Amino acid sequence: MAQESMTKKISSALVWIILVLVLLGLGGYGVTNFGRSVRSIGGVGDTEIDIRDYQRALSQELRALEAQTKERVSLSDAIARGRIDQRVQQRLLIGAALDNETARLGISVGDGIVAEQIRTNPAFFGPDGKFDRDTYRYALQQLNMSEADYERILRRETARSILQRAVLAGISAPEAEKKAFLDFAGERRNFTWVRIGQKDLAEPLPPPTEEDLKAYYQAHSENFTLPEMKRITYVWLTPEMLLDKVEIDEDRLREIYDNRKSEYVIPEKRVVERLVFASPDEAKAAMEGLEKGETGFEDLVKARGLTPDDITLEITSPDDLEGAGEAVFARDAPGLVGEFDTDLGPAIINLRQIVPGQETSFEEAREGLEIEARLDKARREIDKMTGELEDLIASGATLEEAAGESDLQSGQIDWWEGVGGGIADYEAFRKAAKKLAKGDFPEIRRLEDGGLFALRLDEIVPPRIEEFEKAKKKVRDAWENQELEKALRKRAEALAPRMAEGADLSAEGLTQTIEEDITRTDYIQGTPPDFLKDVFSMKKGDVKVIDGFGAVYLVRLDDVLPPDESRPDYQQIATMLADQLRQSIAQDLFLAYVADLEEKAGIRLDQAAINAVHAQFR
């Protein structure tokens, strides 16, 4: 137990230290092959930026980008996409400017403060919950970091925070600005609205003629333009394609069933709560209170500062609960079992739930087992074929020839990002198709389900207008949407004057809804996403037609009201807005302050050193 506890503490320490390193841009990466004369990529004033810090920061940015894109990204690609080199350099220059200014002002951190930060860091606590020097030393050793290096990092970061707090101390948002934002956020509206849908039209829409569709197609041809496509020939083989060619005998299925019997024969499970007491007298007194109805089991748990999760056990046999297992399994319904002497001491046991056992016979599981076994065998067959297929294609065979001489199936697809169906549903294929270029060798690749594929780019098809007959269904849908919108707007505009006069449109078969005290952050069920944005752009007395999905909304703004300071969320909104404004002002001020420091001290960058770092990533 002690060893396990120490391991957990060390793991915790490593996580904490790694987080510190990431935040400081000083994570555990090294740089090699730099000459001794090149130690910096530049600096601010008298403060240098270590060349290794730049390499580590670039590595962290690349890993973050790869985590987002789920694919490997080279430094050159990352620079082309988002100039990560410039972002990293600017971040390091900001840190250097702050370090240069703290040195100029003589801001430093004493040994006592550093020692206190280390002593109170949970990452370095031992099994007793207090600072442990062995844990501290061992955690740093795992990162190849000396105590002096770690303490230097703490001093520098603490000095920066002292300077930052001094610069930003006392910043608050101007009252006039806070009031303007709060008035905007807290303003209220009273309005009346009706929804007009297709069923509210006096007559159904007439069906389109062929001439109508062709005229719409010609007038909106840009809406039926296909994107640039890659015309790809591919071959593939999946385990499902081989199901009919692999056989599994009965004995093998029974062997699989027996090996996984725990999945098919699940014993009855009992969920119990075990509340342990310090002495038999305490347990007995608590049990008497339960029996007399003076207290409840849940009350006893809360009184001990515990939750149900702290005392819950799942058992499948009387042996799983020493001292009380037989009594628990003797009950046929949940409830209080009684007071027992358990392996942890005197305890009261409560049976919370009985989960019946489940058993799936071999006959019931057979079909699923056979499919699973066939798929597994098919995957292994495909693994065996891979080398032969690679040799076949490497010898000069075309994809079509490879398909003719093996179980591979061939096909062709016009592919672009977003197309799906068939092989295009596989992530591996989509990634390969995206990178595919003319002349690429059709190497064998693996699919997520254990299958394989190879592909060849035949041609790149430029954007073009889809033929009318192929696009006809999309043209019809678009025409019908257009005509429906026209009819709905015509109906709404005809009713608008009556609504402006205050008429009740219920007589027209419409449901008229009155809303009061609505703020910008509210949501009206059954309305489109920008509905309230449109309502808040109206003036008192205005009537407006707002488009929706297959419907229009006729709205009359009845009143504009100031914020209601008695609303429960008013003060919360006020506090949130004040904090956001203060943080925004503080950020702008701090960036301006750093820019001033950089200008006064002077910044410099050594492009040759930067290029040397970039070369390490090739």
- Domain of 444, CATH number, reads 3.10.50
Q: In whole angstroms, what is the distance from residue 288 CA to residue 461 CA?
A: 84
Q: Hey, what amino acid is at 329?
A: F
Q: Determine phi and psi for 316, rounding to 5 degrees.
A: -120, 0
Is residue 72 domain-shared with residue 111, that is, in the same domain? yes
Assigned domain for 541 exists = yes
**In terms of C-beta density within 10 A (0-12 exposed, 13-18 middle, 19 or more buried), how is residue 33 classed?**
exposed
Instruction: Evaluate whether 270 touches 314 at the Cβ level (below 8 Å).
Output: yes
Q: In whole angstroms, what is the distance from residue 162 CA to residue 249 CA?
A: 75
Q: In whole angstroms, what is the distance from residue 19 CA to residue 24 CA?
A: 9
Residue in the structure block whose two tokens are 């990352």: 78
The mean per-residue pLDDT over the stretch 214-238 comes to 94
Tell me the angle at which helices 607-615 and 51-69 cross, rounded to the nearest 10 degrees. Answer: 50
pLDDT mean across residues, the chain: 86
When comparing pLDDT for 217 and 137, which is higher?
217
Q: In whole angstroms, what is the distance from residue 597 CA to residue 101 CA?
A: 7
When mean pLDDT is compared across 88-102, 123-137, 565-579, the lowest value belongs to: 565-579
Is residue 164 domain-shared with residue 205, that is, in the same domain? no
Sign, CA dihedral 114-116-122-126, equals: positive
Enumerate residues 6+ apart whose C-beta is below 8 A from 156. Answer: 99
Give me the pLDDT at residue 143, please: 63
Q: Per-residue confidence at 144, pLDDT binned at 50, 70, 90?
A: low
Give me the pLDDT at residue 31, please: 41
Assigned domain for 297 exists = yes
Give me the pLDDT at residue 555, please: 97
Give me the pLDDT at residue 30, please: 37
Give me the pLDDT at residue 544, please: 96
According to DSSP, residue 305 is labeled T
H or E element that contains 18: helix 2-24
Give the distance between the most distant pair of CA atoms in the chain. Answer: 94
Instruction: Evaluate whether 387 touches 406 at the Cβ level (below 8 Å).
Output: no
Is residue 426 domain-shared with residue 310, that is, in the same domain? no
Assigned domain for 40 exists = yes
Assigned domain for 591 exists = no
Question: CATH number of the domain that 346 lies in?
Answer: 3.10.50.40
Is residue 327 domain-shared with residue 447, that is, in the same domain? no
When comparing pLDDT for 24 and 455, which is higher?
455
Q: By 3-state DSSP, what share of the chain in percent is helix, strand and coil, each rounded to 5?
A: 55, 20, 30
Please report, to the nearest 10 degrees, the dihedral formed by the alpha carbons of residues 430, 435, 440, 442 taken in order: -20
Is residue 336 domain-shared with residue 402, that is, in the same domain? no
Is residue 307 domain-shared with residue 403, that is, in the same domain? no
Residue in the structure block whose two tokens are 């969920």: 271
Indicate the residue among 430, 462, 494 that finishes a domain.
Answer: 462
The mean per-residue pLDDT over the stretch 170-177 comes to 80
Report in angstroms the alpha-carbon separations of 340 from 317, 440, 613. Answer: 17, 74, 69
When comparing pLDDT for 586 and 546, which is higher?
546
Tens of pLDDT, residue by residue over 309-364, are 889 988 888 988 888 888 999 998 999 998 998 888 899 999 999 988 888 888 88
The neighbouring-strand residues paired with 507 are: none
Assigned domain for 593 exists = no
Instruction: Evaluate whether 125 touches 9 at the Cβ level (below 8 Å).
Output: yes
Assigned domain for 103 exists = yes
Is residue 342 domain-shared with residue 396, that is, in the same domain? no
Please report, to the nearest 10 degrees, the dihedral formed by the alpha carbons of residues 498, 502, 504, 510 taken in order: 60
Cα angle at 323 between 317 and 329, to 5 degrees? 40
Q: Per-residue confidence at 152, pLDDT binned at 50, 70, 90?
A: confident
Assigned domain for 23 exists = yes
How many CA atoms are closer than 13 Å to the CA of 146, on its beta-carbon side?
Answer: 3
Indicate the residue among 435, 462, 489 that finishes a domain.
Answer: 462
Is residue 492 domain-shared with residue 516, that is, in the same domain? yes
H or E element that contains 611: helix 607-615
When mean pLDDT is compared across 31-40, 321-330, 475-484, 602-611, the lowest value belongs to: 31-40
Does 443 have pLDDT greater than 60? yes
Is residue 14 domain-shared with residue 30, that is, in the same domain? yes
**In terms of C-beta density within 10 A (0-12 exposed, 13-18 middle, 19 or more buried), how is residue 599 classed?**
exposed
Q: Of 513, 540, 506, 507, which Cα lies nearest the Cα of 527?
A: 513
- The predicted model scores a pTM of 0.50
Structural domain that includes position 278: 268-356
Q: Of 205, 193, 192, 191, which Cα lies nearest the Cα of 488?
A: 205
Does 135 have pLDDT greater than 60? yes
Give me the pLDDT at residue 618, please: 66
Give me the pLDDT at residue 64, please: 86
Enumerate residues 6+ apart whose C-beta is below 8 A from 234. Answer: 399, 410, 411, 412, 413, 423, 429, 453, 454, 455, 456
Give me the pLDDT at residue 262, please: 82
Q: What is the domain count for the chain?
A: 4
Indicate the residue among 445, 462, 479 that finishes a domain.
Answer: 462
The mean per-residue pLDDT over the stretch 109-123 comes to 87
Is residue 494 domain-shared with residue 348, that is, in the same domain? no
Structure tokens at 191: 């309005």
Give me the pLDDT at residue 562, please: 92
Is residue 101 domain-shared with residue 139, that is, in the same domain? yes
The mean per-residue pLDDT over the stretch 72-79 comes to 84
Q: Of 140, 157, 107, 117, which Cα lies nearest the Cα of 28?
A: 140
H or E element that contains 273: strand 269-276
Q: In whole angstroms, what is the distance from residue 315 CA to residue 312 CA?
A: 10
Q: Of 236, 282, 251, 172, which Cα lies nearest the Cα of 451?
A: 236
What are the residue ranges of helices labelled H in 446-467?
A: none
Give me the pLDDT at residue 516, please: 94
Assigned domain for 255 exists = no
> Cβ–Cβ contacts within 10 Å for residue 370, how many?
17
The mean per-residue pLDDT over the stretch 145-150 comes to 79
Tens of pLDDT, residue by residue over 506-530, are 888 899 999 999 998 888 988 999 9
Enumerate residues 6+ apart whose C-beta is below 8 A from 7. Answer: none
Is residue 149 domain-shared with residue 21, that is, in the same domain? yes
Give me the pLDDT at residue 4, please: 42
